[in-house]
Amino acid sequence: MLEYIWLIPFLPMVGAIINGLLNRRLSHAVVNTIACGSIFLSFLLSVGAFFALTRLEPAARFHEVNLFTWIAAGSTEITLGYLMDPLSAVMCLVVTGVGFLIHVYSVGYMHHDDGYARFFTYLNLFCFAMLTLVLGNSFLVLFVGWEGVGLCSYLLIGFWFSDMEKATAGMKAFVVNRIGDFGFLIAMFLIFQNFGTLNFREVMNAAPEVLIYGGFTVTAICVLLFVGATGKSAQIPLYVWLPDAMAGPTPVSALIHAATMVTAGVYMIGRCNIIFSMAPTAMATVATVGALTALFAGTIAVTQNDIKKVLAYSTVSQLGYMFISMGVGAYVAGIFHLMTHAFFKACLFLGSGSVIHGMHEEQDMRYMGNLRKYMPHTFITFLVATIAISGLPPLAGFFSKDEILWMAWSNGFKFQWALGFIAAGITAFYMFRLVFMTFYGKERINPEVHPHESPATMTVPLYILAGLSIVGGFVGIPAALGGLNHFHHWLAPVLDASSAHEAVKHAAMMVGDGGLAVTSALASGAEHAAAAGHAAAAGHHDLTEYVLMAASVGYAIFGIAVAFFLYNRRPEIPAKVADSAKGLYNLLYNKYYVDEIYGAVFVQGCVNLAVYLWKFWDVVVVDGFVNGLAKVVAMAGSVLARFQSGNVQAYAVSIMVGAVALIFLVAAF
Amino acid sequence: MDFQISDLSLLAPHMVVTGTALLVLLVEAFRPGKGRSDATYLSILGLLVAAGLTLKQFGAPASTGFAGMLIADGYAAFFNMVAYVVGILTLLVSDSYFRSEEYEHGEFHALMLMSLVGMMLMSGSNHLMLMFLALETMSISIYAMAGYMRTKEGTESSFKYFLLGGASSAFMLYGIALLYASCGTTSLTGMVEYFSTLPSLSDSPMALAGIALVAAGFCFKIAAFPFHVWTPDVYQGAPTSVTAFMATGVKAAAFAAFFRIFVVAFPIASGAWTSAFWVLAVATMTMGNFAALAQRDVKRMLAYSSIAHAGYLLIGMVTATSEAGTGMLFYLISYVFMNIGAFGIVIMLGKKGEDRTTLEDYAGVGFKKPLLGAALTIFMFSMAGIPPTAGFIGKFLIFKAAVHEGYIWLAVLGVLNSAASVYYYLRVLVYMYFRESESESGDVIRTSPLSILAAAISVIAILVLGIAPGYLVQIAEAATAAF
């Protein structure tokens, strides 16, 4: 079974090739059978691989398949292959499972679109790239998938071409991601330089010997990898592309910008957890950036009126939670939240797509209201997913989010915990604000629009995802609630929490010596981590855990209550509040003006610098020089005067300057 | 100078190409005519025969001839192959260009073949004098090719290139003279022997100045900052197929000789020239990329982008190990495919007497001509270094070699630069796919089966080299193993 894992990514690729080449010659039925069929087969294979792994000893649960030797020549030998282990298995199941549901949903959603086959081609191609990313056995394969998903997302965002807004969004996504990739590439070079290999298992096994704990190299590698993650997973400061990317078709938002691609950064850190655990400064950075993003994006979501924009900022915020988790060393909790988030966020996005579909492309919630009357199926599934993301027990979001916050607290990252905790209530507030504005209250629908429920190919996936949002958390019920936490045991061989604890403990010693400048949060955290480690080992549970659990549930209910009051009972109040706190409201509504600031500083700055550099040398220095000379030359009746831009002399001067500079550079040595 | 008949066997490929050039001229004299591609087919045939002869040099032990002036080794063979590829692709993309301009004369083919002979000799020269003669053989043909169409721009371009090329050759020749004065020889082997007797080169400022001036001459040919100033004007003014030829062939041949001479003959001074090239590499990449950002004309943008590519290749010169050489060889061959491919598309999107190269002219082309659009997309991705294209592997190999030698900052700057370059490569795609097409853009195009073949070959090569680069890397590694 495990021999065939290469088929998991290749089946969608075959689907993409067939649909891509035959394109318009195929009927819709054939196109969607190929597209959905290929990804469904991948899902079955992933399930098979999962069970094949369960039959192995926990320590032996990995299987590497070398596909081919990419570069093999003396000094360099790079083989490409796939690696199936518990972490990859989880990711494969999420990508193929949720991916399949979204494919099915798209059959209904894209029905009327001209580019039907093209859409499914890109969607399948994306699945191929994403599965390559999660199955790759080395940094290089991961990077190929990493670039591939970026490319597909670029293609899919700009799916309805000829629309300048979408083109700009796609372009922005691509350029911002390249900035992130820059970090990733440099990290990859550093890893290659230090390890002489890019294979995950080899690097991770050798890491304790090759790298020095908390040393400059390991910190640099981890920070640079994290720069890559901030690009792909939309964290501060590179999150700006994700909300704009919502310009694409809604199934794309669900698949790429909620469930799969954007979690690639989280997966990558999980994959590299051993080296991350060796770099406490980098870990503290990850946790802090994640916490800031969680809160920052959450506050923006509060004021948005576009249904997809709310969900987009909510995604950024939830990704922030995953990074908090990674940063505090709770890798399993991060992956757990990744999975549950894939369920409920895909459900929310697809639900919003169903609303938009039924509302004839209306996305502004101010022109909705009382839609539960027209779209009962969409409403009920959306509500379930909203409860899940708000963190109410016993739905999936409760278990995963609570585990993250608890791990942050118990590992001593109090500051990050506080930010995450505040954001949790805000999440419940803006999500229920969305529900009340869309599905309850007075109808504010444009009279020309006649809302209708979506077809079964769209609602059935919604029900399945809603079901997963309910039960998805049960695999990871913490021991504190009497659960067995299967999820934790399953991932333990890859994301061994004890080594993380060791690392954090180690950090405590280092900080105690004053040898390392880490945040104070980490310092206090280390002691707690040690304590928590002991506590877990002893099998008894801190009262704090229950208190915090109760607090976050209470806080979420409070958020929901406020939303209920403001957007259902007294819908006139929000406008008044916005009016009386105009400054704050505008700041949030305009997303802290970050886009504008980036535009002015980086984009315009870069363009100005480019023009300046170009003009400075090629125009001012070189051409300008000629303005003086040209007259002389013209008077001399030189043959050169025939040329309107007779800058040859100036060019010669540039070459002369270069030659003199070279002599100086070489001889000065 | 002793000379053996057997030495001629080293020159077999060169003689075939020269013979083809003469034959093309003869055929042209007896059968002048328009609308036929005799000269093109004949030239391609000649290049294929030469390629067959060159194939035998791979794997064979290196041999020298003509009193050690010419060397035939895997490295020279590799660059001869590059020259054939450049030649064949240029001939293919030229076909529709000259056809639509109604300017089909065999002289162009003959000039190009002569220039190729110069390039082939450059990569095989083991002696500065032969290298210089080869460089001039290559250049003089190109001066004529740039002004071949006798348009105002073409003549201006040709004349500028000629004057500045002459000036830079003078620098180089002066440098060779200084080296002769200090070493008593200009053979690479002889110079190495002389330098090995010196404790350090600081005792010989004359030799150092000579090395710097030779470097200046090469920097002109590869268009490194600040020797690049001629590039945009000359590239833009010349007929597009000549631009493609200049941008790829000249750069490859110049780097071939540059690398061999500096790594073989001047390793003693490497401390001096690596730091100089470090500065040049960074300045060239940055200048090329930022200037390209500011362009709104695709041909001019490609000119600046070729400067940036020279900057990445200079990273290989700084590293100066055989690992870096492998990367440079791979980079150059992928550069040939993506650049001629891109220029080929630029040619096809023009029409008679009008090149139509502004970004606006590309609006909507992606839909009107989906295959051309897809091909240009692949070329742009490859230039930007995005996997799975050959451009990515080339950059990867060069940066990897640099990191291996500890030039981490250089690699960082290189990666940063290539990240910035994505913006202007992508802008072409944005115009092609996201802008409403202007009335005329992409309507009238000049294609011919041959130019479409060139685009197809380039696309396939870029993807094959990007997905399965192993074989070529092996060949390149064998070619540079001696350094």
Three-state secondary-structure class, residue A65: strand
- Helix, strand and coil content of chain A, in percent to the nearest 5, comes to 75, 5, 20
Q: Does A650 reside within a domain?
A: yes
Q: Is residue A615 part of a domain?
A: yes
Identify the bridge partners of residue B354 per DSSP, sorted by sequence position: B351
Positive or negative: CA dihedral A230, A333, A39, A347: negative
Q: Which of B104-108, B267-271, B300-304 has the highest mean pLDDT?
A: B300-304
B285, two tokens? 């990449």
CA A643 to chain B, closest CA, distance in angstroms equals: 7
What does the pLDDT average to over A92-105?
A: 93
Q: How many CB atoms lie within 10 A of CB B483?
A: 17
pLDDT, tens digit, 9 for 90 and up, residues A263-320: 999 999 999 999 998 999 999 999 999 999 999 999 999 888 889 999 999 999 999 9
How many angstroms away from the CA of A182 is the closest CA of chain B? 6
Please check the confidence at residue A525 and state whether its pLDDT lies above 80.
Answer: no
Contacts of A608 (CB under 8 A, 6+ apart): none
Query: Residue A324: inside a domain, yes or no?
Result: no
Among B411, B416, B426, the residue with its CB nearest the CB of A189 is B411
Cβ within 8 Å, pair B419-A178:
yes
Note the pLDDT of residue B433: 77
pLDDT digits (tens, 9 = 90+) for A399-412: 888 889 988 988 88
Q: Is the pLDDT of residue A627 over 60?
A: no
Average pLDDT, chain A: 81
Range of the domain at B473: 5-479
- Interface touch B213/A658, C-beta < 8 Å: no
Say how many CB pairs under 8 Å bridge A and B: 194
pTM: 0.77
Q: Which tokens in the block code for residue B182?
A: 């200090």
CA nearest to A195 within chain B: B404
Read off the pLDDT of each residue in B64-76 and give the average, rounded to a whole number: 89
The pLDDT of residue A197 is: 84
Amino acid in position A106: S
Q: How far is B419 from chain A (nearest CA, A)?
A: 6
Confidence category of residue A72, pLDDT binned at 50, 70, 90:
low
- Chain B residue with Cα closest to A196: B404
Q: Mutate which of A132, A662, A663 to test chain B, going by most B C-beta atoms within 10 A? A: A662
Interface check A536 vs B, CB under 8 A: no
In this complex, the residue of A174, A615, A655 whose CB is nearest that of residue B220 is A655
Contact A654 B227 (CB under 8 A): yes
Say what percent of chain A tops pLDDT 70.
84
Is A138 part of any domain?
no
Question: A71 in contact with B at a CB cutoff of 8 Å?
Answer: yes
Of residues A658 and A384, more confidently modeled: A384
Put simply, the answer to whether B434 touches A162 (Cβ < 8 Å) is yes
Residues 615-654 of A with CB under 8 A from B: 615, 617-618, 622, 643, 645, 647-648, 650-652, 654
> pLDDT confidence of B64, banded at 50, 70, 90?
confident
Direct distance between the N- and C-terminal alpha carbons of chain A, in angstroms, rounded to an integer: 62
Q: Which among B332, B372, B346 is positioned nearest to B250, based on CA atoms?
A: B332
- Residue-level pLDDT at A494: 82
Chain B residue numbers with beta carbons less than 8 Å from the beta carbon of A68 are: 468
Q: Is A663 in Cβ contact with B213 (below 8 Å)?
A: yes
- Kindly state the tokens that stand for B327: 């990367």
Mean pLDDT to the nearest integer, B410-424: 87
3-state secondary structure of A306: strand
Query: Tell me, what's the pLDDT at A519?
Result: 40
| Residue A141 located in a structural domain | no
User: Residue type at B431?
Assistant: Y
Question: Which residues on chain A are in Cβ contact (under 8 Å) with B226?
Answer: 617, 654-655, 657-658, 661
Contact list, A163 vs chain B (CB under 8 Å): 434
Q: Which residues in A lie closer than 8 A to residue B272 (C-beta atoms)?
A: 665-667, 669
List, in sequence order, the alpha helices (H) in A233-279. Answer: 241-245, 250-254, 264-271, 273-276
Contacts of B436 in chain A (CB under 8 A): 162
ipTM value of the model? 0.82
Residue range A36-52: average pLDDT? 93
Determine the distance in angstroms separating the CA of A669 from the nearest CA of chain B, rounded to an integer: 5
* Tally of structural domains, chain A: 1
Spell out the residues 6+ positions from residue A14 whose beta carbon is closer than 8 angstroms to its own.
A38
Mean pLDDT across A387-396: 88
For residue A637, give its domain range: 598-668
Specify the 3-state DSSP secondary structure of A291. helix
Angle, in degrees to the nearest 10, between helices B74-100 and B470-480? 120
What is the C-alpha to C-alpha distance for residues B459 and B468, in angstroms, rounded to an integer?
A: 14
* Separation in Å, CA A131 to CA A51, A135, B312, B388, B468: 18, 6, 32, 16, 20
* Signed CA dihedral, A304, A305, A310, A313: sign only: negative
Contacts of B383 (CB under 8 A, 6+ apart): B305, B309, B338, B339, B342, B391, B421, B425
* Contact: A147, B213; criterion CB under 8 Å: no
Distance CA A58, CA A51 (A): 12
Q: Is residue A415 part of a domain?
A: no
Asked if B468 and A71 count as a contact pair (C-beta separation under 8 A), the reply is no
Q: Mind listing the pLDDT tens digit for each residue in A439-478?
A: 888 888 888 878 888 888 889 999 999 999 998 888 888 7
Tokens describing residue A39:
């990804």
Residue among B415, B424, B441 with most chain A CBs within 10 A, to mutate: B415
Contacts of B434 in chain A (CB under 8 A): 158, 161-164, 166-167, 170
pLDDT at B344: 92
Q: Which residues of A touch B308 (CB under 8 A)?
A: none
CB B48 within 8 A of CB B63: no
Among B163, B323, B436, the residue with its CB nearest the CB of A648 is B163
Q: Are A585 and A303 in contact (CB under 8 A)?
A: yes
Q: Which residue of B has its CA nearest to A144?
A: B387
Q: How many domains is chain B built from?
A: 1
Binary contact (A76, B473; C-beta < 8 A):
yes
Could you tell me the pLDDT band of residue A428, with boundaries at 50, 70 and 90? very high
Those residues with Cβ within 8 angstroms of residue A554's Cβ, 6 or more apart along the chain or in another chain:
none
∠ CA A238-A240-A242, nearest 5°, is: 105
Among A213, A203, A204, A268, residue whose Cα is nearest residue A235: A268
Rounded to an integer, what distance in angstroms lies between the CA atom of residue B346 and that of residue B376? 9
Nearest to B477 among A73, A178, A643 (CB): A73
- pLDDT given for residue A515 in this prediction: 36
Query: Quick one: tokens of B219?
Result: 């920097």
**Residue A523 pLDDT > 60, yes or no?**
no
B227 vs A71, A193, A655: nearest CB: A655
Q: Any alpha helices (H) in A110-238, and if so which ranges?
A: 116-135, 139-157, 164-195, 200-210, 216-232
Q: Are A282 and A276 in contact (CB under 8 A)?
A: yes
CB within 8 Å of B13: residues ≥ 6 apart: B50, B51, B53, B54, B80, B120
Query: Nearest Cβ partner of B404 from A71, A73, A193?
Result: A193
- Of these ranges, A20-24, B65-69, B188-192, B369-373, the one predicted with the greatest mean pLDDT is B188-192
Is the per-residue pLDDT at A624 higher than 70?
no
d(C-alpha B371, C-alpha B365), whole Å: 10
Find, among A257, A206, A195, A207, the residue nearest to A232 by Cα.
Answer: A257
CB contact under 8 A, B473 and A164: no
For tokens 């005519």, the residue is B33
Residue of B nearest to A186 (CA): B412
Query: What is the Cα–Cα distance from A125 to A41, expressed in whole angstroms?
Result: 15
A102 pLDDT more than 80 = yes
Residue A524: Cβ-neighbour burial (10 angstroms; 0-12, 13-18, 19+):
middle
A643 located within any domain: yes
Q: Among residues 584-613 of chain A, which lie with CB inside 8 Å of chain B? A: 606-607, 609-611, 613
Tell me which residue of B221, B217, B280 sits closest to B252, measured CA to CA.
B221
To the nearest 10 degrees (0 to 180), the angle between helices A396-410 and A307-327 is 40
* Distance between CA atoms of residues A105 and A457, nearest Å: 5
pLDDT in tens, A205-216: 888 888 888 888
Instruction: Report pLDDT digits (tens) over A478-487.
Output: 777 777 778 8
- Chain A, residues 160-219, CB within 8 A of chain B, namely 161-164, 166-167, 170-171, 174-175, 178-179, 181-182, 185-186, 189-190, 192-193
Residue A657 lies in a domain: yes
Mark yes or no for CB contact B164/A652 under 8 Å: yes
Taking the C-alpha atoms of residue A80 and residue A141, their distance in angstroms, rounded to an integer, is 6
Task: Count Cβ atoms below 10 Å from residue B339 Cβ, excluding itself.
Answer: 26
CA within 13 Å, CB half, B426: 22
What string of DSSP letters covers A567-612? Answer: III-TTHHHHHHHHTHHHHHHHHTGGGHHHHHIIIIIHHHHHHHHH
A68, A610, A655 ranked by CB distance to B168: nearest: A655
How much is the mean pLDDT over chain B? 88
Q: Report the chain A residue with the minimal C-alpha distance to residue B419.
A: A178
Contact B399 A189 (CB under 8 A): yes
